Structure 1
Amino acid sequence: MRPAYPKFADTLTHRDVLGAVMNLGLERAKIGDILCQKNDYYLFCKENMADYLTESLQKIKHTLVTVNEVDSPQDSIQPEFIEKSGIISSNRLDSIVACLIGCSRNEAVKLIQSGKVYANGLEILHNTYTCKEGDVLSVRSHGKYIFDSLAGETKKGRQKIKYRIYS
């Protein structure tokens, strides 16, 4: 999908697109990822939902949009990432989530126990989960991340990590 009149369009975010789709009365489980790239927005959904979305979704925020079905999205669409690094005390899930979203470990534990943290698409409810390189971590309302690698150790014995954020 893209703005019908790009010159007068608002800059739309993932949250704006998701809100417009949810406002159509769809369940979140019926749609997949949403990729935002400049003035192009890609919404992955089941094939039987595509017709409904192309007919029903006409406006996001204050921007009129045109929705088209893409035949083979795997070839042309690649997510963009922002590479970052951080320092953690261990590679337990609570420590990594705290580093990724910039909160305390206690707040990270609350997010995990409330069912808002997913590792490789599976809901994780225990903070003792040990993250492995290549894990895709998703924290509701905060974003989606790829835990790339342990990148060494600090002088105090803490671990340096590298990760990517879906932008």
Structure 2
Amino acid sequence: MADENIKQHFRPDEAPFIDQVDDWLATCQDEYRPVLTEFLNPRQRYIARTMTNSFDDVRVSQNGGWPGAEMQRLLFYPTYYQPQESDFELQLINVDYPLKFSELHHRQILGTLLSKGLKRSAFGDILHDGDVWQVVLSAQMAEFVRQQVTKIGKINVKMKMADMAEVVQPVTDWEEVSTTVASLRLDSIVAAGFNYSRNRAKTIIEHGLVRVNWETIERPDYPLSVHDLMSVRHAGRIYLKEDNGITKKGKLRVSLAVVHA
């Protein structure tokens, strides 16, 4: 179990993940071999990197198939080891569908994968460059997805294996926002990111329309931390990039990245 002093630096609900990271680090150190994780979100990777820094004989690398990947696998490894791309066991799949007669959306592909019983940690980013849709998966799950996913919504699709070198550069519409907030409460950040009133933000959170790091959170006062990723149904996503300190009036300066649905 991780040292309780470590857990004091993170949220109480992150304790199980901290224990998991502690297990990965211990295995790497005790068995003197690399340890590969599932796909982790930005906040999880921040926690894992922070914990790795306290180990002199363990290093960590990350890979999600492309440089800006939101979901990435981590590889913990002893100092003697030189990580290779193949160590991350990634597989790219192209979504083949009748482009001229139908339209796919990120949420449809995500929902289909989850409906097949996959955990969010079993696959990485869903990429789109304007024409091509791709999914980054763990190599062990790719054949299952290829066989099981034949429809996305009402659209017939074929999931075709592709080489990782064929990964597209996704269209990104993230907007950088620097603002001040009263606190790092969830309702405060949602309101700031989408220019909502606090009451509106509070209501949509209580109605289960907001996820933090892929988990539905219904507490408006839920405390956020740097590297948290929020998804607001029908609105878009917010990434809490930086906490830039306190203004003279006691407000918090924050840097957000916002993408609108």
* TM-score w.r.t. length of structure 2: 0.45
Q: How much identity, in percent, do the aligned residues show? A: 27
Matched-pair contact (CA < 8 Å) for 1:3–1:63: no
- Superposition map of 1:47-86 within 5 A: 50-60=142-152, 65-70=157-162, 76=167, 80=172, 82-85=174-177
Query: SS state of the match for residue 131, structure 1?
Result: coil
Q: Give matches, 1:28-107, under 5 Å.
A: 29=119, 32=123, 34-43=126-135, 50-60=142-152, 65-70=157-162, 76=167, 80=172, 82-85=174-177, 87-90=179-182, 91-107=184-200
TM-score norm. by structure 1 comes to 0.63
Question: Residues 126 and 13 of structure 1: is their aligned pair in 2 closer, same or farther, counting only changes over 3 Å?
Answer: same
Which residue is 1:26 aligned to?
A: 116
1:3 to 1:139, Cα distance in 2 relative to 1, 3 A? same
Q: In structure 2, what residue type is equivalent to 1:41?
A: W
**Structure 1 range deviating more: 46-55 or 120-129:** 46-55
Q: Structure 2, unaligned stretches of length 5 or more?
A: 1-93
Distance 1:140 1:48, change over 3 A: farther
CA separation in 2, counterparts of 1:99 and 1:158?
A: 13
Contact 1:81–1:164, Cα closer than 8 Å, also in 2: no
Q: CA offsets, 1:90-144, max 9 Å, x none? A: 2321111112234321122223334443333444343223322222223344333
Cα RMSD of the aligned pairs, angstroms, is 4.1
**Residue 130 in structure 1 maps to residue 223 in structure 2:** yes
Structure 1 gap segments, 5+ residues each: none
The CA deviation at 1:42 is 2.8
Offset at 1:160? 5.0
Alpha carbons 1:9, 1:63 under 8 Å: kept: no
Larger Rg: 2
